[in-house]
Structure 1
Amino acid sequence: MCRTVELRQAVLARNDDGARALRARLAARGTAAVNLLSSPGSGKTALLEAELRLARDRGIAVAALTADLATENDALRLARSGVPVKQVLTDGLCHLESEMLTGQLADWLPHGTRLLFVENVGNLVCPASYDLGETLRVALASVTEGEDKPLKYPTAFGLANLVLVTKADLAAAAEFDETAFLANVARVNPGVEVVFTSARTGQGVGELLDRACAVLDGAEVHRPVMAGASANGPGHLHSRGDAHSHDGAAAEQL
């Protein structure tokens, strides 16, 4: 058990080092990364597609990288927005890591990109423990998932700079208790902003883009209390170690 803990700590420490380096490189080129975390079926892709379309219409240089275990379905959907999109297949790994992201961006991220949206693997457990060098971390939950989602996944919601509720148009049908949900979010992440959205009706569409742009302009980002222990706070740690490492030369090309 001791050896397992030490190995996990080493993997996370290495990830943090890579995340800090990537964050600095992105900042140097004027790019901010937005890390989107949610469970499968939350409506994350539909909302992101709407946000990307809006960014294109406003003339904001954005790009999106989406990760999944298999299929390029999400990338095909996001590409309909008309902005640069890249699909990453994780070969069974349940999360992205900073070195993986650095390697994917090295020869792809278009010059002049201001915002990079990263749609993490659909999973609220493993991705929560890995810093990707993001400037803004967003946790999403749909009204159909229940009010206790933040309590079941305290690391994912506790480390978020922003929380988005999706499929708000289904709240009544799902008998969603908004008051209970907000109280549960406040328990794990006091002071974090919660925005209600619906890709179907347009409610709240543009709120994510507005906040990401504000960060680019120097706006303060909500700092979760849990973040005092870094993005590798309490939570399930699941890694395959060096099996997904990348050549450091790729990082230098970014």
Structure 2
Amino acid sequence: MHHIDVSIEQDVFDANNKLAHKNYHTLRDNNVRGFDLLGAVGSGKTALIENLVPLLEEKGLHAGAIAGDVWGDDDFQRIVATGIPAVNANTGKECHLDAHLVEHSLESLPLKDIDVLFIENVGNMVCPTDFSLGAEKRIVVISTTEGDDVVNKHPMMFRNGTIAVINKIDLAEYVGCRINRMEEDIHRYNPIMPVFKTDLKTGEGVSELMDEILR
């Protein structure tokens, strides 16, 4: 019985990875750079998109987004308010986006008019890790209000990520968070992962982060 469960799980991952590969080529064929945003609820994923859109526009680049949530359209409405094309992708009860949902979302976006696509995953630090979506980079967003042990509790998210963002640096002293501990833990699990510290309320650290994203 245990063997059957493992086999089914592997089949699910294999099917997802094939679709993710297809999504990657769909984006590449349309000259779209795709970025998967992962992190807990309230870490700052949507705020990061809100900060990056005007900076991209200054460079003559047009953004688009897929807003992943279990239910509702709160993040979607915030993203649409920036003026970019977006799709609201509700998972229903699943705690992560998968390549199939992203594939359908891509069909609803004007890819020819988009240079940079943000795929905002469901707010969860565990489930999204195993499901590739077809993006070229994974950006993991954490915040000081989650506690300085958040990285150590979720190592796989950093082992599989490309760029780390520590947000809400302005609140670190108020919540007793040691930012260097977070940074040390990130590099323990992923020594080559660049780390950016941001305050998305003021935009601090965002332009440097954007340079790394587009690199």
Residue 182 of structure 2 aligns with an amino acid whose one-letter code is: F
Distance 1:138 1:85 in 2: 19
Distance 1:169 1:36 in 2: 21
Which residue pairs with 1:221 in the alignment? Answer: none
SS of the counterpart of 1:137?
Answer: strand
Question: How far apart are 1:213 and its partner, in Å?
Answer: 2.1
Distance 2:193 2:154 in 1: 15
Question: How far apart are 1:115 and its partner, in Å?
Answer: 0.8
Question: How far apart are 1:33 and its partner, in Å?
Answer: 0.7
Question: How far apart are 1:128 and its partner, in Å?
Answer: 0.6
Residue 128 of structure 2 aligns with an amino acid whose one-letter code is: P
Distance 1:107 1:61 in 2: 16
The change in CA–CA distance for 1:56 and 1:82 in structure 2 (over 3 A counts) is: farther
Superposition RMSD in Å: 1.3
Find out whether 1:150 has 2:151 as its counterpart: yes
Find out whether 1:129 has 2:130 as its counterpart: yes
Would you say the 8 A contact 2:30–2:111 is kept in 1?
Answer: no
Find out whether 1:194 has 2:195 as its counterpart: yes
Question: How far apart are 1:53 and its partner, in Å?
Answer: 2.6
Which residue pairs with 1:217 in the alignment? Answer: none
Question: How far apart are 1:112 and its partner, in Å?
Answer: 3.2
Find out whether 1:75 has 2:66 as its counterpart: no
Which residue pairs with 1:50 in the alignment? Answer: 51
Find out whether 1:174 has 2:188 as its counterpart: no
Q: Which moved more, 1:104-113 or 1:178-187?
A: 104-113
Which residue pairs with 2:101 in the alignment? Answer: 100
The change in CA–CA distance for 1:107 and 1:43 in structure 2 (over 3 A counts) is: closer
Which residue pairs with 1:59 in the alignment? Answer: 60
Residue 82 of structure 1 aligns with an amino acid whose one-letter code is: G
Residue 66 of structure 1 aligns with an amino acid whose one-letter code is: A
Find out whether 1:40 has 2:41 as its counterpart: yes
Distance 2:181 2:107 in 1: 43
Distance 1:110 1:141 in 2: 29
Counterparts of 1:18-29 in structure 2 under 5 Å?
18-29=19-30
Would you say the 8 A contact 1:169–1:201 is kept in 2?
Answer: no
Residue 95 of structure 2 aligns with an amino acid whose one-letter code is: C
Would you say the 8 A contact 2:89–2:101 is kept in 1?
Answer: no
Which residue pairs with 2:206 in the alignment? Answer: 205
SS of the counterpart of 1:48?
Answer: helix
Which residue pairs with 2:166 in the alignment? Answer: 165
Residue 156 of structure 1 aligns with an amino acid whose one-letter code is: M
TM-score (norm 1): 0.81
Distance 2:130 2:54 in 1: 30
State the percentage of identical aligned residues.
31
Distance 1:107 1:164 in 2: 29
Which residue pairs with 1:242 in the alignment? Answer: none
Distance 1:45 1:185 in 2: 22
Question: How far apart are 1:133 and its partner, in Å?
Answer: 0.5
Question: How far apart are 1:27 and its partner, in Å?
Answer: 1.1
After superposing on structure 2, the runs of 4+ consecutive aligned residues of structure 1 that deviate more than 3 Å are: none
Deviations 1:89-144 (A, max 9, x none): 11111111111101111132331311100100000111011000110101111011
Question: How far apart are 1:202 and its partner, in Å?
Answer: 1.5
Q: Which moved more, 1:106-115 or 1:37-46?
A: 106-115
Counterparts of 1:4-15 in structure 2 under 5 Å?
4-15=5-16
The change in CA–CA distance for 1:84 and 1:206 in structure 2 (over 3 A counts) is: farther
Question: How far apart are 1:193 and its partner, in Å?
Answer: 0.5
Which residue pairs with 1:244 in the alignment? Answer: none
Unaligned runs of 5+ in 1: 215-254
Q: Which moved more, 1:59-68 or 1:101-110?
A: 101-110
